Amino acid sequence: MHQSKIFLVDKSGQTWLPMTEMPYDQEVVLQEALAQYPDLIPGDQINPDNPRRWLLVKRELGVPGETGGSDVWSLDHLFLDQDGMPTFIECKRSQDTRSRREVVAQMLDYAANGTEYWPMEKLRQSATETAQQQDRDLDEAIVELLDDVELDVEWFWQQVEENLRQGKIRLVFVADAIPKELRRLVEFLNDKMNDVEVLAVEVKQFLGEGQRAMVPRVIGITEATRQSKQGASQRIINREIFLQNCLPELVPFYNTIFDKALSAGHMINWGVKGFSLRMQTPEQMISFAYGFPPNVFDFYLGYLAKDYLSAEAVQTLRQNLTADGTIPDRGQRTLRVEVNASNVKNVLALFDLTLEAIA
């Protein structure tokens, strides 16, 4: 079989060192290289106009299968880019004989459960531990990642959380060779999934006379798909579009929510699918509720507990919100309810209770 080559050329241009493409002896070689040199995921190929930069959260990050449950799976790497987009990385050698469908299904398991059940505290703690292992300060690493004096660390973590909650993530399959079957699956998923970016990265290894080179290449994104993804990420909805996407019978409910929040001096922040309701604290704006079409409303306690109310006050609010059974008492920070004709009055009453608690 013909083996591809690259050549290292010295400054004089007289000495050429041929290096031959070789498979990785072990998958861990590729995994360790990614952890040490995140730019092996070539951010300029993903977005030439705004190259992606990376912060490693953790290698072998556990993924639970339920709220508060133990880890069921282990993701090879979780990275965050400068926009706080979670980037799931799964490494496979070309010699891995498992079916391509199995590899894709495995990644989708990680994504579906990680976005739903990862506590933000776990991600922040994991990132802190990783930074310490690298002899770095996490906050300093985030500031360097952001490269924008107008942005801060808390803004970054809010972006991470909102991206997770909205399922705005990136899935990346990394291997020394991407077989055509996996390439086709990646291209199909990337074309059809609006919020999720699905990519494959080939990181070929070349060896020669004690030297090693690793050459990455992004697969699975056409220029048309890239423009579509970037455009979709920038399309922010408004009140009118949100209400059009909701159940018609719930339009009065959401209008009432909006009006009550604005009357109380709070702010509506629009995203690509839904909204968050934000209040001004002495330090920053924090979100206390979210809404997503067609009928989802979330009471969010995470920022209140951290930045505004005492632990006792947050616990009391939680007990009051779940007392009558309208809202299931699940989730460490989020109390989610699917609004319908039978519970809409109760949800509005609980919203009034929340506004009183944070006034």
Q: Which of 234, 253, 279 is the last residue of a domain?
A: 234
Is 252 in the same domain as 305?
yes
Residue 266 contacts residue 357 (beta carbons within 8 Å):
no
In this structure, how many other beta carbons lie within 10 angstroms of the beta carbon of residue 234? 8
Buried b (16+ CB within 10 A) or exposed e, 332-359: ebbbebebeeebbeebbebbeebbebbe
Is 142 in the same domain as 285?
no
Q: Which of 185, 212, 234 is the last residue of a domain?
A: 234
Is 117 in the same domain as 255?
no
Residue 27 contacts residue 101 (beta carbons within 8 Å):
no
Is 219 in the same domain as 288?
no
Residue 189 contacts residue 208 (beta carbons within 8 Å):
no
Number of domains in the chain: 2
Is 256 in the same domain as 137?
no
Is 22 in the same domain as 73?
yes
Structural domain harbouring 292: 239-358
Is 99 in the same domain as 145?
yes
The model's pTM: 0.66
CA distance 166 to 240: 19
Per run of 10 residues, the mean pLDDT along the chain (length 359 residues) is 82 90 88 94 90 96 89 96 95 72 89 91 94 92 78 80 88 91 88 88 92 90 62 70 95 96 92 82 80 90 76 90 88 84 95 92
Helices (H), 82-119: 100-117
Is 144 in the same domain as 248?
no
Q: Which of 178, 200, 234 is the last residue of a domain?
A: 234
Confidence (pLDDT) at 234: 53
